[in-house]
Chain A
Amino acid sequence: MTNDAPYKRPLPDLERKLTQPYWEATKRHELVIQQCDACQHLWFPPSFCCPNCLGEAISWKPVSGRAKIWSWIDMWQMYFRGFADERPYLVAYVELEEGPRLMANLVDIDEERTGLTCDMPLEIVFDDVTPEVTLPRFRPIR
């Protein structure tokens, strides 16, 4: 966001202990996801234990930021006032190179959605939307 208008879109809860390391990392322009110390399984979203072995010793592992599109939608409906000026906007369900999937907006795609396909390779970009919050988004690797 390069303009000076106040940011009006919904923001994550930075006070939530479980997810704080994620947002601290995105602020450093780094993507981290949870990994089980015992079995090395990786998952997202953050949880209290490893869904593979129920281990509770968990580390935050930096990941590459390379990904591919599982699927995407163009959201036309105005569910949030903050998105009113940018409809339709692109939301993708993105599969990280390391396996876990997450939702994110896609950027650097034209209005005709030229070349957009499922499984298209992506790379992460970090968007400092407020002084406190940095949201990861993804763009095609061309």
Chain B
Amino acid sequence: MSRDTLKRDFRDKVAIVGVGTTDFGAMYRDLDPQRSNYQLGLTAFKAAIEDCGLTRDDIDGIFTSRVPDTVRMSEILGIRHPRFSSTLPGGGRYSGLGVQYAAMAVYSGMADTVALIYGNNGRSVGAKYGGDGEGGGPESNSADFDVPYGMTSPGAQYGLMYRRHQALYGTPAEALGHLAINNRNNAMKNPISVMKNPLSMEDYLNTRFIAEPLRLLDYCLINDGAVCIIVTSAERARDLKQPPIYISATQSTSDFTAQYLSDNFYYDSLSSMAPDLFGAAGIDRKDIDFAQIYDNFTPTVLFSLEGLGFCGKGESGSWVTPERISLTGELPLNTSGGHTSESYMQGWAMHVEAVRQLRGECGDRQVANAEFGLYSCTSPVSAAHILRR
């Protein structure tokens, strides 16, 4: 069978049937240095199986990320003999990839129902991204060739890309402000978000720089929390408590170089993936009702929109107007508040938000009549799904 045939056959055969999260806002103000990623994972797992009406004994596949060891998590949950299991690395790219692995396991019959469990106690234990210890070890080119210059952190790599994007295309500073403000506006309508105070463009432009041209408000939060997602076949999904949210298409792509940054803003990798993704779902970009776009740093959204073809190369800076990206706009973006205002659950909570939007559970921030939603994460490994109700 050709790749196209396979991907058409996969369409809507696997569904997300249960989701669970912690209350990110409540936990942000309640730090606990003893907070365990396993205990966080347990909380989200119970919420997710309750959500779909399954029991622990229905779970025969398990993946964890940032919960350090799937064996320990399974032992805690009393899942003795899962048919398919693995520990994923803790990076944000593994949320989209984890859902892909679960979907492949279900589609191939290797597991019937897979739980994906993510727990992050980063704020309580003082997690840092960059600085001493980053990228160390005897094989580290970064430690030898970047760190002696004070170069560190994924955000600084995004700062370099964004500066270059501005130089090539005249991208205005306000473009990132629109994204940060849109996130905040949405987070203010999200009961479990971390950041709920209003944000103006003036506030944004007055925020301190971290790696100029990027400001503090261009950076993701660091907060504690957990997410669990339950994936099963469309057939089994029909009898469960919630309406199934189908995975219409999913695809990943890569751009592997010596640096985290991509000299084409990931355009080459994303634009090669996009036809596969939309083709496999049998829809066009205009059919997408909202997009949850991984925003570890706000420029990631711009690069993703260009690479996925929502706007032309270099045009994202003027494309992301408040009207277009708001909840009532042409392409509502990051409807939960994204990583800069809802939570930084490294893409996992964005999946949950997509599911809740497609179920119509989002109250004040509900996108009207949402039928198709996009999740995408752009990084050296990018992944994207089209989900539908």
Instruction: Please state if B209 and A76 are interface contacts (CB–CB under 8 Å).
Output: yes
Asked if A16 is at the interface of the complex by the 8 Å CB criterion, the answer is: yes
Residues of chain A with a CB closer than 8 A to B152's CB: 79-80
Within 8 A of A (CB), among B130-159: 130-132, 138, 141, 143-153, 156, 159
Instruction: Please state if A75 and B160 are interface contacts (CB–CB under 8 Å).
Output: no
Instruction: Please state if B263 and A70 are interface contacts (CB–CB under 8 Å).
Output: yes
Asked if A83 is at the interface of the complex by the 8 Å CB criterion, the answer is: yes
B156's nearest neighbour on chain A, judged by CB, is A73
Asked if A142 is at the interface of the complex by the 8 Å CB criterion, the answer is: no
Would A12 and B131 be within 8 Å (CB), given that A71-B163, A76-B211, A93-B259 are in contact?
no
The secondary structure that dominates the B interface is: mixed
How many A residues have CB within 8 A of the partner chain? 37
Residues of chain B with a CB closer than 8 A to A117's CB: 167
Asked if B241 is at the interface of the complex by the 8 Å CB criterion, the answer is: no
Interface centre among B150, B156, B164, B212 (most CB of A within 10 A): B150
How many B residues have CB within 8 A of the partner chain? 35
Asked if B331 is at the interface of the complex by the 8 Å CB criterion, the answer is: no
Asked if B208 is at the interface of the complex by the 8 Å CB criterion, the answer is: yes
Residues of chain B with a CB closer than 8 A to A89's CB: 150
Asked if B261 is at the interface of the complex by the 8 Å CB criterion, the answer is: yes
Instruction: Please state if B150 and A75 are interface contacts (CB–CB under 8 Å).
Output: yes
Instruction: Please state if A9 and B150 are interface contacts (CB–CB under 8 Å).
Output: yes
Of A34-42, A52-60, A102-110, the one touching chain B:
A102-110
B212's nearest neighbour on chain A, judged by CB, is A74
Complex Cα–Cα for A77 and B218 (A): 14
Instruction: Please state if A74 and B209 are interface contacts (CB–CB under 8 Å).
Output: yes
Interface residues of A (CB under 8 A from B): 9-13, 16, 19, 44-46, 70-77, 79-80, 82-83, 88-89, 91, 93, 101-105, 117-119, 133, 135, 137
A46-B141, A80-B147, A93-B259 are known; give 12 further A-B pairs, CB within 8 A: A12-B145, A13-B144, A45-B258, A73-B160, A73-B213, A75-B211, A76-B212, A88-B209, A91-B150, A91-B151, A118-B167, A137-B149
